[in-house]
Amino acid sequence: MAKRALITGITGQDGAYLSQLLLAKGYEVFGAVRRTASINTWRLSELGIEKDIQFLDFDLLEFSNILRVIEKTAPDEIYNLAAQSFVGTSFEQPIYTGEVDGLAVTRILEAIRLHAKDGIRYYQASTSEMFGKVQETPQRETTPFYPRSPYGVAKVYGHWITVNYREAHGIHASSGILFNHESPMRGTEFVTRKITLGLARIKCGDADKLRLGNLDAKRDWGFAGDYVEGMWQMLQQPQPDDYVLATGETHAVEEFVDLAARSIDMDIEWQGEGPHRVGIELKSGRPIVVVDPAFFRPAEVDLLLGDPRKATEQLGWHRKVSFAQLVEDMAIKDLDRLRSGSLRF
Ligand code: NAP
Ligand code: GDP
């Protein structure tokens, strides 16, 4: 009989890639979606899998709804990917973010505990943002957390409550501490996709400048398609556990801009320092990238660099797509979308 997976956050970047992976493995996939005026399934439709998913109304804020969805779908595996996932917004909506990214994890775990604690395997989407002001480099499973945003703080709660339900109630609950992972399906508010879409718009004459915040921030960026494989591998282990998924490389935002621009034939030369730094397009001599303090964070995470050795050794996980390949794929895809008029987001 086909395994059954319930995915929360199925309309998001990771939800789309994970659905594709599980469908290819023969799973029956149930997609938990919150009601909105018009459900946004563009990612699933771009991957050609929307028709293969059974959708259910779901909201992380409503316990009875979570319980009913679990009863109805009787899943073998639950992947909790739903979240208010943007750090910037978490400074503006800290209470909502705490509810959805923190407390809601307890709602799902409690529903599993009440419903069928022995039968269900649970995946929690933890994050490198929990390391925040990093206490050691590279960061690994044992590195102490020091979150720097309401998002990071809420995710620390979600992480520890997952560990607690595993230890206290014997639930097969695992937590993936995933470093930033990107793709052409990434939300446009995140810096990588903001860069690739922004540069493509400039190239097509639809915009004249890309406004960014801290160009010096460094992230360990991988490809989302590689990371969903690790999520699945975690739930196939006989014992639940926590794993870091990362590339083991870190790159600055400015470097991402350089590579993305080069991928679409727009070389950039940098001038000035700090808030006065400007990226000049060599061909036209125009300033196309400028720093806008509106995008600075009240508290910044300066550098993230993960050590994925545990996942490599115990799960056999490793990333396949290089940083350079990821940037190029994203940049070219956004340019293609604009040129063909197929940009849906
Ligand atoms: P994403 O694209 O922003 O998707 C978030 C999903 O959560 C969307 O489907 C969204 O639905 C749903 N959602 C938000 N609030 C909800 C609510 N109250 N009830 C039900 N669903 C709700 O995020 P992602 O990049 O795929 O990331 C997946 C998970 O991994 C998130 O938990 C994120 O925090 C975590 N994570 C991501 C990264 C990364 O680099 N991508 C790294 C570490 C951890 P709508 O479509 O209706 O908005
Ligand atoms: P995060 O690591 O989850 O916060 O992912 P983001 O893609 O939102 O941000 C990554 C880094 O890029 C952070 O250190 C941001 O401060 C930095 N950054 C610089 N300019 C921007 C910008 O214009 N938008 C966003 N989202 N981040 C920016």
Q: What is the number of the ligand 1 atom nearest to the C-alpha of 36?
A: 47
Ligand nearest to the CA of 105: 1
For residue 7, the CA-to-ligand 2 centroid distance in Å is 26
**Considering only 27-41, 111-125, 156-170, 328-342, which range has the smallest mean pLDDT?**
111-125
Please identify which residue in the block is written with the tokens 């209470």.
Answer: 95
- pLDDT tens, 68-86? 999 999 999 999 999 999 9
For the Cβ of 212 lying below 6 angstroms from any atom of ligand 2, the answer is yes
Q: How many CA atoms lie within 13 A of 28 on its CB side?
A: 10
Catalytic residue among 123, 151, 157, 243: 151
User: Which residue CA neighbors atom 25 of ligand 1 most closely?
Assistant: 13
Best of 97, 191, 192 to mutate for ligand 2, by most ligand atoms within 8 A of CB? 191
Are the CB atoms for 13 and 223 separated by under 8 Å?
A: no
Question: Per-residue pLDDT for 39 more than 90?
Answer: no
pLDDT in tens, 127-154: 999 999 999 999 999 999 999 999 999 9
pLDDT score, position 38? 83
* pLDDT in the model for residue 157: 98
Burial (Cβ within 10 Å: 0-12, 13-18, ≥19) of residue 33: buried
pLDDT tens digits for range 184-210 = 999 999 999 999 999 999 999 999 999
- Band (pLDDT 50/70/90 cuts) for residue 115 is confident
Asked if residue 118 has pLDDT above 80, the reply is no
pLDDT beyond 70 at 252? yes
| pLDDT tens track for 269-319 | 999 999 999 999 999 999 999 999 999 999 999 999 999 999 999 999 999
Q: What is the mean pLDDT of the chain?
A: 97
- Letter for the amino acid at 126? S
pLDDT at residue 266 tops 80: yes
- From the CA of 12, how far away is ligand 1's center (Å)? 5
Q: Band of the pLDDT at 44, cuts 50, 70, 90?
A: very high
262 lines ligand 2 (CB under 6 A): no
Tell which one of 13, 84, 87 to mutate to probe ligand 2, the residue whose CB is within 8 A of the most ligand atoms: 87
- How would residue 117 be classed by pLDDT, with cut points 50, 70 and 90? low
Give the three-state DSSP class for 283.
Answer: coil
Q: Is the CB of 129 under 6 A from ligand 2?
A: yes
* Distance in Å, CA 288 to ligand 2 centroid: 18
Instruction: Give the long-range contacts of residues 87-90, CB within 8 A, separation 24 or more.
Output: 87/129, 87/149, 87/151, 87/152, 87/297, 87/301, 88/189, 88/295, 88/297, 89/151, 89/189, 90/149, 90/150, 90/151, 90/152, 90/154
Residue 214 CB less than 6 A away from ligand 2: yes
pLDDT at 109: 97
- Catalytic: 151? yes
Q: Look at ligand 1, atom 29, and give the residue with the nearest C-alpha.
A: 81
Q: Of 8, 127, 143, 196, which one is the catalytic site residue?
A: 127
| pLDDT level of residue 165 (50, 70, 90 thresholds) | very high
Give residue-wise pLDDT tens across range 204-215. Answer: 999 999 999 999
This prediction's pTM: 0.98
Q: Is 197 in the pocket of ligand 2 (CB under 6 A)?
A: no
CA 70 / ligand 2 centre spacing (Å) = 35
Query: Of 146, 109, 106, 113, which Cα lies nearest the Cα of 130?
Result: 146
